[in-house]
Amino acid sequence: MNTPSTKGKLSLIVAAFASVALVACTSATAPDPTSKADSVETPHWPTLQSPIIYAEEDKAFVADLVARMSTEQKVGQLMQAEIQTITPAEARQYHIGSILNGGGSVPNRQAAATARDWAVFAQSFYDATATSENGEVAIPVLWGTDAVHGHGNLIGATIFPHNIGLGAANNVELMTRIGEVTAREVRASGIEWIFAPTVAVARNDRWGRTYESYSEHPNRVASLGAALVTGMQGKPGTPSFLDESHTLASVKHYLGDGGTTGGDDQGDTAVSEADLIRLHAPGYFSTLDAGALTVMASFSSWNGDKMHGNRYLLNDILRDKLDFNGFVVGDWNGHGQLPGCTNDSCFQTVNAGLDLVMVPYDWKAMYANTLAQVLAGNITESRLNEAVSRILLVKKQLGLFNGKGPLERELGGNNTVVGSEAHRDVARQAVRESLVLLKNNNRTLPIAANANVLVAGDGANDLAKQSGGWTVTWQGTGTQQADYVGATSILQGFEQAMSAAGGNVTYSAQGEYATKPDVAVVVFGEDPYAEGQGDINTLEFSPGKHETLTLLKQLQADGIPVVSVFLSGRPLWVTPYINASDAFVAAWLPGSEAQGIADVLVGDSSSDPVYDFTGTLAFSWPKTPLQDTLNVGDDNYDPLFAYGYGLTYAKGKTVAQLDEDVSGVAGEGVQDIALYAGRPLQPFNVFLNNSQRDQIFSGAFAQLPDGTVTVETTDKDIQEDALLVTFKQDWMSGLFIAGGQLDLSPFYPNGALEFDIRIDDMEKGRLDVILDCNINCRNMIAMRDWAVEKQGKGWQQVSIPMHCMLENAEHGKQVQRAFTLRTGGDGRFALANVHFRREASVPAEQQIQCPANIATQPDTLNEYWAVDWWMPRHNEKVAQAQQGTAKLVMIGDSITHGWEGDGKSVWERYFGDIDTLNLGFGGDRTENVLWRLRHGELGNVKPDLVMLMIGTNNTGHRFDDPTRIRDGVAAILDELALQVPDAQVVIQAIFPRSAQPDDELRVNNNQANVLLKALAKERQVEFIDFGKAFLTKDGVLTNEVMPDLLHPKEDGYDIWAKQIEPIIQQYVK
């Protein structure tokens, strides 16, 4: 590798914007460089000089490559594909320029993959693309990853505080070390490129990416962003620049992503050009000066123009004014949002100045379309060559053409580098320095190391909550403690700190204790999220849900000093919580080394500090929930705690009682409940299941061991905000969302269950929506007909009235499994945005309509597995009934149907001489029997005896309430009385099912049998119940009698025959 030389320093104007590491302001009245005074002046972009000068031999090398490349090879270099959608062979075949792994995406879908496993995977792509056949140009692929606070996708990696915490620390030297550590761990996994730093200046704290911003202040962002670039890449002009222990950085998201109206992720930044320069550009001035060689375009718009298509900013400013000479990469399908573009076709973005197109899934189509557009002249050859040359020059600086693959490089595959003690020490220091002390009345902190401490709150022992999004998975959800290898929880940090000096820690998430503690530390805050899934409507913390506040007040009422440790990705309105605390610490999202919190909060045995607080607010703290745009230097700036605020042990003060009576506070009424909004929202998890097992969905992909159900993330509105579900070859499978008990009674009857769904394939599949209201309570809406009709028609909003899902409010009080999509057969659909709404978001006429009682509504058996045979069998039985000779009619489901299968020899032995019409149909429920009877299955028959057994599928398929089964059987009796009035009708009790007497399906059938017995007496027909004959003396049903605990085998049919033989002999003449 030829080390690029370094040009002269930037002009004074750049230094004023970005090059100085600023000390945090200490008050709102301090002079502030974000003053609006310059916003009325003519926009002025500084003219910069890149610190990178490419060596002439490097430029000649790249020029030679480009001259020898075919158009197909050049187009391939513009494509960046996600690792789950491409193989090494395909990367070679299509000459792919780059690959990436999205959040939660790991090699070979192995979540526990080590650094060496990653490097081996990387080596496979290198080997495929770095060698050539037939004299073709060979260009190694470049791999990029979102290591935004450490290598978060790699199990066991060092996880640093998110940027909002690092902004509070405001330590440039520390930031450089963090960049170095992150680069080393990423290099150990074989990856060369990190999509960081984010230099967004978040100006509205409702934005879901606020925690990815260092500060609301552009100067703090500029200094810290530049330091991280230096740490990751090394210093331009030195031998270590982009060597094998450093990575390529990517400055993002260009430009203005932190300034969108309303904090809308991917929204519009409606500001003047002067304000764009003043507020949002300084981070680019500083990081380009630090030698950043890639810039990522933003999803957002500037005054209505999407950045992926903004030639003025991508080319005229970035290239001509700022002298950027690396390449511009897109964000996840961001090009698809341009007018006239789709995810797989967008020559406009290339012409605007984007060089490498991030097209995770549709890269093959994008490749083909882009190639056609080049050949058609939509993209000129000069523009194509320009983009390719930029990419190849950066690859050359990175050493990709040096002949060494990922496993052959200095750190490649070295597991000991990842999460090393030295690395974790850096992260622990970052945690200590990120903490901001908002309140410390009565010198509650530090805690004496020999004290008796109660640690409480849902965040105290939750590694996901303390780490936030972009950790293990994209959203940081769907994980388990074991996924955070080597990490230390906040609770564990306190236990370690206290035990060393003879102190004691009692842990209770609910704050329970036997012996009154000296002090209580309560850890709480936001649950994990990332990007747009974290956008919120109010800055009030946990609106309408105040369990933690109640705990704080109770502890204070008990005379226990309370220390609150608040975990969040942004400042939030928590005034009542601060008032209910003696000390309050903003801990942000500290990551894996939470011992750093106890380092500062726990003193020595005399309560003297071991470490003092040094962190200051990089974001102003709101006085009301409505202060989402609260930034130092703004007009009418009125925070609760100003930018730069932060108490210390050395310089503390008493914080008086704060005013809680402010506008914008949510009432105590019932709030909508979101189960899945881009991610499962706490405490919910997504599970995939079939008839054999349930499996939690974690990361971006999960599959049952037998392959019957696959769930993976996909895109609806933004990156990976939906789930793609594929099911096959199982009679009962699907997906459900659960996570603790829910009270849905307030949603009855006027609320709605709502979700978005896209039906890709349902021709041979089944789809039911189920709510398991509580024990022995389930309601189902059959959606197959609707799904088949909507197949291939894109995303649909489904709204189901809650009176369809609940019989009454009481049934909604203890819901265990609130949402299930049950499937069967073969099919595929995508799901997003699952909510319970207080009020439906669509008019009643657009909602799914539900019948009063499905069991009494005649219908065919519209199941995927019955399509081929059910109607032909019906037609066969109609023809048989027309003969009118049968003396005995047997009506039922698969169990009765089985007299023609496993029970055939038994039937022949006992009743072979009786002219019988078997109307048993596998899978039938009461409504199906009713339909068949009304469509000719009794024909001209005048039977002596009709024996009816139906209802077990009403229970098994949709867990009908026993009263519904009774009503369905009553409707069948009405039909029999009408068509065969002279026949003796005998109702057979529904057979026992499931092994144990207390199984919910057996219990439901038993309850139905009680009602059927009463119905028989009322209708003056006979009722027989011999279910006990199938059971052991303990009421157990064995596989010897019914192998699947539902259908008899031959021995079971023999038991049945003996029980009904006297009845048949009595009535059949």
Residues 152 and 472: their CA atoms lie apart, in Å, by: 5
Say whether the peptide bond before residue 43 is cis (omega within 30 degrees of 0): no
Contact 733, 689 (CB under 8 A): yes
Residue with tokens 């936001």: 526
Cβ neighbours of 967 (radius 10 Å): 18
Q: Which uninterrupted H or E stretch holds 67?
A: helix 56-68
Contact 138, 129 (CB under 8 A): yes
Contact 247, 186 (CB under 8 A): yes
Secondary structure percentages of the chain, helix, strand, coil, to 5: 35, 20, 45
Which are the contacts of 56, defined by CB distance < 8 A and separation ≥ 6?
none
Q: In the chain, what's the furthest Cα-to-Cα distance? A: 111
Tell which residue, 345, 347, 343, 373, has the closest CA to residue 361.
343
Where does 572-679 show beta strands of DSSP type E? 583-588, 673-676
Residues 250 and 934: their CA atoms lie apart, in Å, by: 70
Using alpha carbons only, give the angle 824, 827, 829 rounded to the nearest 5 degrees.
110
What are residue 339's phi and psi, to 5 degrees? -55, 135
- Chain CA centroid to CA 647, Å: 37
Long-range CB contacts (within 8 A, 24+) of 129-133: 129/88, 129/91, 129/92, 129/95, 129/96, 130/400, 130/403, 130/405
Residues 281 and 302: their CA atoms lie apart, in Å, by: 13
- Output the DSSP codes for 1003-1065: HHHHHHHHHHHHHHHHHT-EEE--GGGGB-TTSPBPTTT-TTSSS--HHHHHHHHHHHHHHHH
Half-sphere exposure of 854 (CA within 13 A, CB side): 24
- Start-to-end CA distance of the chain, whole Å, equals 100
- Output the DSSP codes for 215-231: -SSHHHHHHHHHHHHHH
Residues 101 and 84: their CA atoms lie apart, in Å, by: 8
The two structure tokens encoding residue 556: 């204070």
Contact 254, 328 (CB under 8 A): yes
Q: What is the DSSP letter of 641?
A: B
Helices 172-188 and 421-434: angle between axes, nearest 10 degrees = 140
Contact 984, 1027 (CB under 8 A): no
Using alpha carbons only, give the angle 209, 339, 281 rounded to the nearest 5 degrees.
40
Residues 1032 and 487: their CA atoms lie apart, in Å, by: 52
Catalytic residues, by residue number, are 331, 531
Using alpha carbons only, give the angle 472, 540, 600 rounded to the nearest 5 degrees.
60
State the alpha helices, DSSP H only, in 687-770.
Answer: none
* Coil, helix or strand at residue 864: helix
Half-sphere exposure of 330 (CA within 13 A, CB side): 34
Contact 725, 810 (CB under 8 A): no
